[in-house]
């Protein structure tokens, strides 16, 4: 077992202990402080996963700003939680179900650092083979022009490209790119925008961006619901 894995397990165990402490402690100020500790531990975990940018955000927002915001909220509330029932069964069921779905989702994932993962054999190669919007070896800039799908499929008659690159065995997809490469049109940039940022956000990390947007939308709707002007009821 690598030491990084061991560090990860210990830190995650500590984070779980802190999380249980946060929900079991009565005093709201103590819960706020334990939340700060949780953020610090999570930042260490993110750094152990080499996600330094996430760790940076977690440290700045999680440990710093949200502790201050929660303390500011405490000024306007009581200091103790209400006595709540010991276990809220529907909530527990929801959490357990969501957690098991997430764990089930990881079963299909390739091993960490696996060089033969689909992302390395398919998608990255396509992105590297993309010519539109780039300058090729002869110094010709292939500008992106609006054109119909038909034109683009005519355009790709040139034989020099060979991605997906080496499909050594199992040529059962019926032609190289004719398989439509995951349903994208057979153009030069496989249905992405030639703009690198847009391509990454919309095509390469499309699900990521979609759920990020969903999270931000949910947060915005929650703020609207909380801060809306309520009708005066007699």
Partner 1 sequence: MGTVLTITMFSLMASILMTLVRALKGPTSYDRILSVNAIGTTTVVGVVVMGFLKGRPDFLDLAVVYALVNFVATVAILRFVEQRRLG
Q: Are 132 and 144 in contact (CB under 8 A)?
A: yes
Least distance in Å: CB of 87 to partner 1? 20
Among 12, 19, 67, 196, binds partner 1 (CB under 8 A): 67
Q: Choose, by CB under 8 A, the member of 12, 74, 117, 124 that binds partner 1.
A: 74
Q: Check: CB of residue 141 under 8 Å from CB of residue 135.
A: yes
**5 or 179: CB nearest partner 1:** 5
How many residues sit close enough to partner 1 to count as binding (CB under 8 A)? 37
User: Could you tell me if 8 and 42 are in contact, meaning their C-beta atoms sit under 8 angstroms apart?
Assistant: no
- Contact with partner 1 (CB under 8 A) among 12, 19, 47, 156: 47
Nearer Cβ to partner 1 (3/145): 3
Alpha helices in the chain (DSSP H): 3-24, 28-48, 52-57, 66-74, 89-107, 118, 124-129, 149-155, 196-198, 206-227
- Residue from the set 12, 26, 75, 231 that interacts with partner 1 by CB under 8 A: 75
Query: Which C-beta is closer to partner 1: that of 14 or that of 201?
Result: 14
DSSP string, 176-216: SSTT-TTT--SSTTTT--SSHHHIIIIIITHHHHHHHHHHH
Residue 20-39 contact track with partner 1, rule CB under 8 A, x = bound: -x---x-x-xx-xxx-xx--
Is residue 183 a contact partner of residue 193, using CB atoms and an 8 Å limit?
Answer: no
To partner 1, the closest distance from the beta carbon of 40 in angstroms equals 4
Q: What are phi and psi of 192, to 5 degrees?
A: -90, 165
Among residues 5, 23, 52, 92, which is the contact residue for partner 1, using CB under 8 A?
Answer: 52
Estimate to the nearest angstrom the gap between the alpha carbon of 163 and the chain centroid.
27
Taking a C-beta distance cutoff of 8 angstroms, is the pair 41, 17 a contact?
no
User: In angstroms, what is the minimal distance from the CB of 80 to partner 1?
Assistant: 13
| Between 36 and 191, CB nearer to partner 1 | 36
Residues that bind partner 1 (CB under 8 A): 3, 7, 10-11, 14, 17-18, 21, 25, 27, 29-30, 32-34, 36-37, 40-41, 43-44, 47-48, 50, 52, 55-56, 59-60, 63-64, 67-68, 71-72, 74-75
């Amino acid at each position: 077992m690598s030491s990084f894995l061991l560090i990860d397990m210990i830190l995650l165990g500590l984070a779980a202990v802190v999380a249980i402490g946060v929900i079991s402690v009565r005093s709201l100020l103590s819960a706020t402080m334990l939340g700060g500790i949780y953020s610090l531990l999570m930042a260490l975990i993110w750094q152990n996963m080499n996600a330094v940018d996430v760790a940076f955000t977690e440290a700045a927002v999680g440990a710093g700003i949200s502790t201050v915001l929660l303390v500011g909220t405490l000024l306007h509330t009581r200091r103790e939680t209400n006595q709540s029932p010991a276990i809220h069964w529907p909530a527990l069921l929801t959490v357990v179900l969501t957690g098991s779905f997430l764990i089930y989702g990881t079963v299909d994932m390739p091993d960490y650092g696996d060089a033969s993962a689909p992302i390395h054999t398919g998608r990255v190669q396509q992105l590297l083979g993309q010519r539109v919007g780039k300058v090729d070896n002869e110094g010709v800039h292939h500008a992106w022009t609006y054109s119909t799908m038909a034109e683009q499929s005519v355009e790709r008659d040139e034989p020099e490209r060979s991605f997906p690159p080496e499909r050594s065995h199992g040529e059962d997809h019926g032609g190289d790119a004719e398989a439509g490469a995951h349903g994208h049109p057979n153009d030069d940039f496989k249905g992405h925008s030639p703009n690198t940022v847009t391509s990454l956000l919309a095509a390469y990390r499309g699900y990521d961006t979609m759920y990020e947007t969903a999270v931000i939308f949910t947060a915005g709707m929650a703020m609207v619901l909380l801060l809306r002007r309520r009708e005066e009821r007699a």
